[in-house]
């Protein structure tokens, strides 16, 4: 196992720091141009689609869920440990300027996620009378390539359902042990039971959970972050200056001794941003596929908003808290640096605040990732074997909370990267259909047929 770790690390380095950066960003730029900057022109429409006429408690069922519930489920998966650790890692490795490149990658990612959500709507289907969908369906039906669809399904089940959920559970166990000295095994058992209860309830219970928890956790974190920013308000403008100057001249911000280049700022910012908002990765389309909308493009507009919330609100808040509290260079990185920043900003309440936030972020991600993986179990096994799958996921959640093996964390990155490749192939080859769907919506909107 020890010999395997450096090999997997090398694979991840090639995947995430070179290959996927160019593929994901290139796809985002392509769709941004072909869709005529849809993330700007239809952003207002996306907000209306998500938040217009919200009715909490609206029961989801076999026919799907509301746009708001779908976006909440997508955000549940997007906003995870990466939002607390990702910005910190990017800043330490690429300097404050990495945040600028994180923003830029998210901007282009908005057009990619529009394409994903639109295709998921176009090719959604029913399994055992229940609506489902995702990349496996638009790969197999749109590209007529079942082999590639099966490869995607297998990688996402491993990446999110099993290995990824181990990582999320481990983060919760660590945080609660550090903040409250609670045995991770106890946390793992509680997580498994609560998660199992939600899994068994199907799409109805998952939608009910995400629509209530996601807004609460986002507001809770943003209020905490705003408190830190208000108490350090004199450092906000210098923080933005560090971000913009550091994007093109890192040495001017960090000094020549640090050795961070523009290439590093770009590399780490883009990689961490894409890993956090999941645009192009093929995960969130499973949530958007089950939304009840009048036109497939409408859910594409809604999907754009999810990337905005993930990166421009939550991830940016983490970055600003770190930069305004002056904790860079103290030797910490990842979640430890974020914890240190909030401890400086909030005092003794900082550590418990992050532990509680991390619980909501990571646990909601577990629910979202389970939902995505379940859709692919349905694809591979035609709706059979769900009970066995649920039990296995519960076991992995418990196991993940108890142990931390570096190889497991690295394998999560590997399978996350592998599932991107068939999804991007499908997005690019099916791009004429995405553009035609968008044009059809605009034509019907113009003629007031929607």
Among 35-39, 143-147, 180-184, the minimum mean pLDDT is found in 180-184
Domain coordinates in residue numbering, the chain: 79-432
Query: Residue 258 pLDDT more than 60?
Result: no
CB-based contact 371:145 (threshold 8 Å):
no
What is the C-alpha separation between 106 and 59, in angstroms, rounded? 32
**Does residue 81 contact residue 361 with C-beta atoms inside 8 Å?**
yes
pLDDT of residue 327: 86
Tokens 């976006």 identify what position? 71
Q: Is the pLDDT of residue 267 over 70?
A: yes
**C-beta separation of 409 from 167 below 8 A:** yes
pLDDT tens-digit series, residues 84-133:
877 888 888 888 888 999 999 999 999 999 999 999 999 999 888 889 99
Both tokens of 54, joined, read 């919200």
pLDDT(423) > 90? yes
Helical H segments across 308-349, by residue range? 316-325, 334-346
Helix (H) and strand (E) counts in the chain: 23, 2
Q: Does domain 79-432 have CATH number 1.20.1740.10?
A: yes
Q: What tens digit of pLDDT does each residue of 338-382 get?
A: 888 999 999 988 888 988 898 899 899 999 999 999 999 999 998
Mean pLDDT of 67-76: 89
Handedness of CA 143, 146, 147, 148 (dihedral sign): positive
Please say if the pLDDT value at position 440 is more than 70: yes
Which residue, 284, 288, 299, is CA-closest to 48?
299
Q: Give the pLDDT score at 312.
A: 93
Crossing angle, helix 406-429 and helix 146-156, to 10 degrees?
150
At 157 the pLDDT is 95
**Per-residue pLDDT, 257:** 41
Contact by Cβ (8 Å): 117, 299: yes
Residue 56: predicted pLDDT: 61
Overall average pLDDT of the 140-169 stretch: 93
Q: Which run of H or E residues covers position 352?
A: helix 350-381
pLDDT score at 248: 85
Average pLDDT, the chain: 88
pTM metric for this prediction: 0.92
pLDDT digits (tens, 9 = 90+) for 18-67: 888 889 899 999 999 999 999 999 999 999 998 886 666 566 667 788 88
The better pLDDT of the pair 450, 256 is held by 450
User: CA-CA-CA-CA torsion for 159, 165, 171, 177, nearest 10 degrees?
Assistant: -150
Number of Cβ within a 10 Å radius of residue 338: 28
Distance (Å, rounded) from C-alpha 174 to C-alpha 339?
A: 12
For residue 153 the two structure tokens come to: 């399904």
The secondary structure element, H or E, covering residue 22 is helix 20-34
Calculate the CA dihedral of residues 320, 326, 329, 330 and round it to 10 degrees. -110
For the segment 431-448, the average pLDDT, to the nearest whole number, is: 93
pLDDT of 450 strictly over 80: no
- Which of 194, 196, 275, 215 lies closest to 72, judged by CA? 215
Query: pLDDT higher for 267 or 288?
Result: 288
Q: Give the per-residue pLDDT at 60.
A: 66
- Per-residue pLDDT for 277 more than 80? yes
């Amino acid at each position: 196992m020890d010999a395997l770790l450096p090999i997997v690390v090398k694979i991840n380095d090639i995947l995430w720091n070179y290959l996927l950066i160019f593929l994901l960003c290139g796809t985002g730029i392509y769709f941004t141009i072909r869709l005529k900057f849809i993330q700007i022109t239809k952003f207002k429409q996306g907000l209306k689609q998500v938040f217009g006429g919200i009715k909490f408690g609206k029961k989801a069922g076999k026919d799907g869920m509301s746009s708001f519930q779908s976006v909440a489920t997508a955000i549940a998966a997007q906003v995870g440990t990466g939002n607390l650790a990702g910005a910190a890692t990017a800043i330490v490795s690429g300097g404050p300027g990495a945040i600028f490149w994180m923003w830029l990658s998210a901007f282009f990612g908005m057009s990619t996620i529009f394409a994903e959500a639109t295709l998921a709507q176009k090719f959604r289907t029913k399994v055992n009378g229940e609506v489902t969908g995702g990349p496996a369906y638009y790969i197999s039906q749109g590209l007529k390539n079942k082999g590639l669809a099966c490869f995607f399904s297998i990688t996402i089940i491993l990446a999110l359902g099993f290995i990824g959920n181990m990582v999320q559970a481990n983060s919760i166990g660590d945080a609660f042990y550090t903040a409250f000295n609670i045995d991770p095994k106890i946390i793992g058992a509680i997580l498994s039971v609560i998660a199992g209860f939600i899994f068994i309830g199907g799409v109805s219970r998952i939608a009910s959970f995400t629509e209530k928890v996601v807004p609460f956790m986002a507001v809770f974190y943003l209020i905490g972050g705003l408190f830190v920013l208000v108490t350090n308000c004199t450092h906000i403008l210098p923080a933005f200056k560090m971000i913009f100057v550091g994007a093109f001249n890192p040495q001017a911000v960090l000094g020549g001794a640090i050795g961070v280049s523009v290439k590093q700022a770009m590399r780490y910012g883009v990689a961490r941003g894409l890993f956090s908002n999941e645009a192009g990765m093929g995960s969130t389309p499973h949530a958007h596929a089950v939304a009840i909308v009048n036109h497939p493009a409408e859910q594409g507009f809604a999907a754009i908003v999810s990337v905005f919330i993930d990166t421009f609100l939550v991830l940016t808040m983490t970055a600003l808290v770190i930069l305004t509290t002056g904790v860079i260079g103290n030797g910490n990185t990842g979640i430890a640096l974020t914890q240190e920043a909030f401890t400086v900003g909030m005092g003794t309440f900082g550590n418990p605040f992050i532990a509680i936030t991390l619980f909501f972020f990571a646990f909601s991600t577990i629910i979202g990732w389970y939902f995505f993986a379940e859709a692919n179990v349905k694809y591979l096994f035609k709706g059979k074997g769900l009970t066995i799958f649920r039990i296995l996921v519960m076991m992995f959640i418990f196991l993940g909370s108890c142990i931390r093996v570096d190889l497991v964390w690295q394998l999560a990155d590997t399978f996350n990267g592998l599932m991107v490749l068939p999804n991007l192939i499908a997005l690019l080859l099916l791009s004429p259909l995405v553009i035609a769907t968008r044009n059809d919506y605009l034509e019907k909107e113009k003629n007031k047929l929607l």
